[in-house]
Amino acid sequence: MSQRIPVGIVGCGPAGLFLAHLLHRAGIESVILENRSREAVEGTIRAGVLEHWVTELMREMGLGERMAREGHFHTGITLQYGPNRFHLDMEELTGGKRVTVYPQHEVLIDLIGARLADGGTIHFGVSETAFHDVDTDTPRITFRHADGTPDELRCDYVVGADGFHGPGRQAIPAADRREYSKTYPFGWLGILARAPTSWHELIYARHEDGFALLSTRSPEIQRLYIQCDPRDDIANWPDERIWAALHRRLETAGDWRLAEGAIFQKGIIPLRSFVCETMRHGRLFLAGDAAHIVPPTGAKGLNLAVADVLVLSRALEEAIRRNRTDGLDSYAATALRRIWKAERFSWMMTTMLHRDDTETAFEHRIRMADLDFLAGSRNAQAALAENYVGLPFEA
Ligand code: PHB
């Protein structure tokens, strides 16, 4: 059963799928291994904001048709604190760039469908996935197919696009890894509700009770979040309590009212920042959440994963086609410059907009001054918008 392929990829999330598509476009074959079922991958609800260049890339690759039809193009965001509500016109502040609200699992559905239609291979439901010989010229990935049959991929290069808990990062010796992390003392309680649209763009709100975010999925389905204790049990949050918190935190400006509806999905996620500075070991490369995590406040997770593999795909193409490895040698350094800027932005948005009981009264006042400055300064707004729509790529 064992086969030899140029690139073996573990993980069928945004990083693994975009990489497989970019390599295919360059005429390089790859195989994706995924431990979850296709249904689980396509059904897991995640954040939904695509940076301007990601939507352009999808369009250019012929993957943007449904997104163009069903995605919501937002020209700005609304920010609130206390009784103040202000609009950031991102399109105007960035010279014409927008973001698209199109949920991650919809992107995955489109990319999986297109990959299989192109004749690509994705093995779902695999187990016991392990990297071997990554510091030799013949790295391997062993695994069991969904039916239990053992198998092996012999590769020229292997990629861990397998998320924070996958085997990719662990295949790098601990002594060679430099890891940086920050755990926030709060989490997000997220809901999906069958409710009409309450506002034409996203609302990020700082309230004395804690953060709240209003987002959307479609004209009939809304996505909303409230800050909560990350260790809290979702059982403590009956629907009425969630709506009461949302009304209180979001309805602070004028007579605007939030429309309610039936909640059909709810859950609590912790917030964390994490960077593994070593993104390569021999012929193993890490991409996406395997190497870095951002809190969702900046909506950067998927975008950062795609940015990694855009750099990595070019480097792999040069190595495989032209035997030039300088792109692979500089991959981690190039990717990390963008990663740290997204980490900074996500941390800044998170600290500015959340209630943090571990902060001093002084720090609290500084956060309020951050928001006040932002509300009144076009330069501050332009800096936020530049990050939100996606920083340009540097050489
Ligand atoms: C979402 O729609 O799920 C969403 C939007 C913006 C964020 C995070 C999540 O910053």
How many whole angstroms separate alpha carbon 71 and alpha carbon 48? 10
Protein residue whose Cα sits closest to atom 3 of ligand 1: 47
Protein residue whose Cα sits closest to atom 6 of ligand 1: 299
**Which of 44, 223, 266, 345 to mutate for ligand 1's pocket (most ligand atoms within 8 Å of CB)?**
223
**Structural contact between residues 28 and 157, judged by C-beta atoms closer than 8 angstroms:** no
**Does residue 85 belong to any structural domain of this protein?**
no
**Which of 197, 213, 297, 354 to mutate for ligand 1's pocket (most ligand atoms within 8 Å of CB)?**
213
Ligand 1 centre to CA of 246 (Å) is 15
What pLDDT score was predicted for residue 50?
Answer: 96
What pLDDT score was predicted for residue 232?
Answer: 98
Write down which residue in 270, 296, 320 finishes a domain: 270
What pLDDT score was predicted for residue 46?
Answer: 82
User: Are residues 199 and 246 both part of a single domain?
Assistant: yes
User: Are residues 266 and 331 both part of a single domain?
Assistant: no
pTM of the entire predicted model: 0.96
Write down which residue in 231, 246, 270 finishes a domain: 270
User: Are residues 264 and 281 both part of a single domain?
Assistant: no
How many whole angstroms separate alpha carbon 82 and alpha carbon 137? 59
User: Are residues 224 and 295 both part of a single domain?
Assistant: no
User: Are residues 264 and 279 both part of a single domain?
Assistant: no
User: Are residues 264 and 345 both part of a single domain?
Assistant: no
User: Are residues 49 and 129 both part of a single domain?
Assistant: yes
**Does residue 213 belong to any structural domain of this protein?**
yes
Number of domains making up the chain:
2
Q: Domain span at residue 291?
A: 3-74+99-180+272-389
Ligand 1 centre to CA of 49 (Å) is 6
**Does residue 368 belong to any structural domain of this protein?**
yes
Tens-place pLDDT, residues 294-352: 999 999 999 999 999 999 999 999 999 999 999 999 999 999 999 999 999 999 999 99
Ligand 1 centre to CA of 47 (Å) is 5
User: Are residues 371 and 337 both part of a single domain?
Assistant: yes
Q: Which DSSP string corresponds to 105-150?
A: HHHHHHHHHHHHHTT-EEE-S-EEEEEE-TTSSS-EEEEE-TTS-E
Protein residue whose Cα sits closest to atom 7 of ligand 1: 299
Ligand 1 centre to CA of 298 (Å) is 8
User: Are residues 371 and 281 both part of a single domain?
Assistant: yes
Write down which residue in 235, 270, 305 finishes a domain: 270
Q: Which two tokens stand for residue 195?
A: 């409710």
**Does residue 86 belong to any structural domain of this protein?**
no
**Which of 45, 78, 202 to mutate for ligand 1's pocket (most ligand atoms within 8 Å of CB)?**
202
**Does residue 17 belong to any structural domain of this protein?**
yes
Rounded alpha-carbon distances, angstroms, from residue 226 to 63, 83, 144, 229, 354:
33, 18, 40, 10, 10
**Does residue 315 belong to any structural domain of this protein?**
yes
What pLDDT score was predicted for residue 394?
Answer: 65
Task: Residue 86: name the closest of 378, 390, 306 by CA.
Answer: 378
How many whole angstroms separate alpha carbon 258 and alpha carbon 289? 34
Residues with CB under 6 A from ligand 1: 47-49, 101, 202, 215, 223, 296-297, 299
Q: Which atom of ligand 1 is nearest to the CA of 47?
A: 3
Residues of the chain short of pLDDT 70, as ranges, are 1-2, 394-395
Q: Which atom of ligand 1 is nearest to the CA of 215?
A: 2
**Does residue 91 belong to any structural domain of this protein?**
no
Ligand 1 centre to CA of 213 (Å) is 8
User: Are residues 299 and 258 both part of a single domain?
Assistant: no
**Which of 44, 45, 49 to mutate for ligand 1's pocket (most ligand atoms within 8 Å of CB)?**
49
User: What's the CATH code of the domain at 262?
Assistant: 3.30.9.10
Protein residue whose Cα sits closest to atom 4 of ligand 1: 47
Protein residue whose Cα sits closest to atom 9 of ligand 1: 47
User: Are residues 126 and 164 both part of a single domain?
Assistant: yes
User: What's the CATH code of the domain at 277?
Assistant: 3.50.50.60
What pLDDT score was predicted for residue 327?
Answer: 98
User: Are residues 194 and 293 both part of a single domain?
Assistant: no
Q: Which atom of ligand 1 is nearest to the CA of 190?
A: 3
Ligand 1 centre to CA of 131 (Å) is 33
**Does residue 313 belong to any structural domain of this protein?**
yes
Which helix (H) or strand (E) is 155 found in, with range? strand 150-160
User: Annotated catalytic sites, by residue?
Assistant: 74, 204, 296, 300, 388
Instruction: Please enumerate in sequence order all residues whose Cβ is within 8 A of that of 19, keeping only pairs 6 or more positions apart, or say none.
Output: 7, 9, 30, 159, 161, 287, 309, 312, 313
